[in-house]
Amino acid sequence: MRASYLGTCLTLACVLVLTAATADRAWAREAVVTTADGRVLTGELVSQDEATVTLLISGIKTPIPRRSIQSVEIKAEPREQYREMRSKLDDGDLDGRYRLAYTMYEKKWYDLALSELQSIEQSFPESKKVKALAIVVSGRLAQQQAQTDPPDARHSARPSATATTDQITDGDEDLRLTEEQIALIRVYEVDLDVQPRITVPAETIDKLFEKYASDDRLNKDRKAFRRLPGHEQLGILFDLQARELYGEVVIRQDSPALKAFRSQIHQRYVLNYCAATACHSNGSQDGLHLLRLQPNSDATLYTNFYVLTRYENQVGKMIDRDTPRRSLLLQYGLAREVAATPHPDTSGWRAQFVSEDDERFQQYADVLEGFWSPAPEYGINYTPAQPPPSPPESDAAQDTP
């Protein structure tokens, strides 16, 4: 009984600690720093001393030297700010209360935003914009609370980052694939004919022989298997379809197709054209969100590749491995009058290719031709970015019959 009682107390204590950590993170003090050259930086106050003020801006710790600061304004506690703004609004002011909730959402005070939205829904149950914002806020709140996991459980997925005040972030640091997911894509896209550098860990080999020792396709003893080159070991895993072990295999290089995709399509076309700020970055409304930060990193490359590979709509696939020239990735770059599937009429869009005879169009089509067909099922659990909710200014008429 005593052990059970102590266990219950320890569990309750852990819950209280995690809850407090979540509240501290969600309700961090907001600060506005004005620098000597006139820049205004707004973020969560992490720390300050005689030499430096550190803000958390879009998830990145940004140290600002005191010598370059003109002034520092520390805002009131989030709940105090919320109460002050809410006290100026009538209960029946739908637009005003929606603007308040949206402000809380923009400041990442998701618990306050959700509380207000739930209250609004009781008074205006038919409001579409309120329901839409509540869905997004609920998801962001869950992600925020998940960040209270112990650091050791998260360090391999996303390393911490420190930025200078000149760096710009688009808020996509939580949208990248993890190292484990990237490793799995490398396995499924590997080309064993080029004999890539591959390591199958000793523990993985032991698991393989424990489960498949009686399988005729594993026609070697354990010592002989260990002496094989890594690409031959992985070939045997493929023959056995030992998918539960694929994620443990280490491949230290891109496949030829992904290498070409990285240097030609991703760097020259996806980042500079498709992921332009006004098009498919920052959670565009068409559901195609591409990353732009850290353009040379594996996380950005593989996340964008995965998103493009999985995306399809009623007119086609973004990357059509069966017919690469019909890939929306290429067709959407063609002049509308010659495209088999023209790009939707969108403000700011411009053609990149005059025709399919364009040298770059043919080059990119050849790169897509190098991928396996059909596309592998990676077995990755990844949720694409949600479109941002409509800001109050552009949504005023949404609930009008």
pLDDT tens for each residue of 1-10:
434 433 444 4
Q: Can you give the residue ranges of every domain in the chain?
A: 20-74, 78-148, 197-251, 256-369
Percent of the chain with pLDDT over 70: 77
State residue 12's pLDDT score.
39
Neighbours of 67 (CB within 10 A): 8
Model pLDDT for residues 129-168, shown as the tens digit of each residue? 888 888 878 877 776 676 544 444 333 333 333 333 333 3
Give dist(CA 261, CA 268) in Å, integer.
10
Q: What pLDDT was estimated at residue 282?
A: 47
pLDDT in tens, 224-236: 999 999 999 999 9
- What would the CATH number be for the domain defined by 78-148? 1.25.40
DSSP state of 199: E
Angular region, 76: left φ>0, alpha ψ -120 to 50, beta rest: beta
Residue with tokens 């509540």: 134
With bands split at pLDDT 50, 70 and 90, how would you rate the model's confidence at 92? very high
Are the C-beta atoms of 355 and 361 separated by less than 8 Å? yes
pLDDT band at 336 (very low <50, low <70, confident <90, very high): confident
- Does the bond joining 229 to the residue before it have cis omega, within 30 degrees of 0? no
pLDDT-wise least confident of 21-30, 51-60, 245-254: 21-30
Closest CA to 380 of 178, 191, 223: 178
Q: How much is the pLDDT for 400? A: 41
Side by side, which strands form the sheet with 40-48? 60-65, 52-57, 40-48, 30-35, 69-74
pLDDT class for 278, splitting at 50, 70, 90?
very low
pLDDT at 106 over 70: yes
Full-model pTM: 0.56
How large a percentage of the chain has pLDDT more than 90?
Answer: 39
Confidence at residue 318, expressed as pLDDT on a 0 to 100 scale: 93
Assess contact for 188 and 378: CB atoms under 8 A: yes
Q: Which residue from 136, 145, 146, 66 is spatially nearest to 101, judged by alpha carbons? A: 136
Burial of residue 18 (number of CB atoms within 10 Å: 0-12, 13-18, 19+) = middle
Strand (E) or helix (H) holding 70 = strand 69-74
CATH of domain 20-74: 2.30.30.100
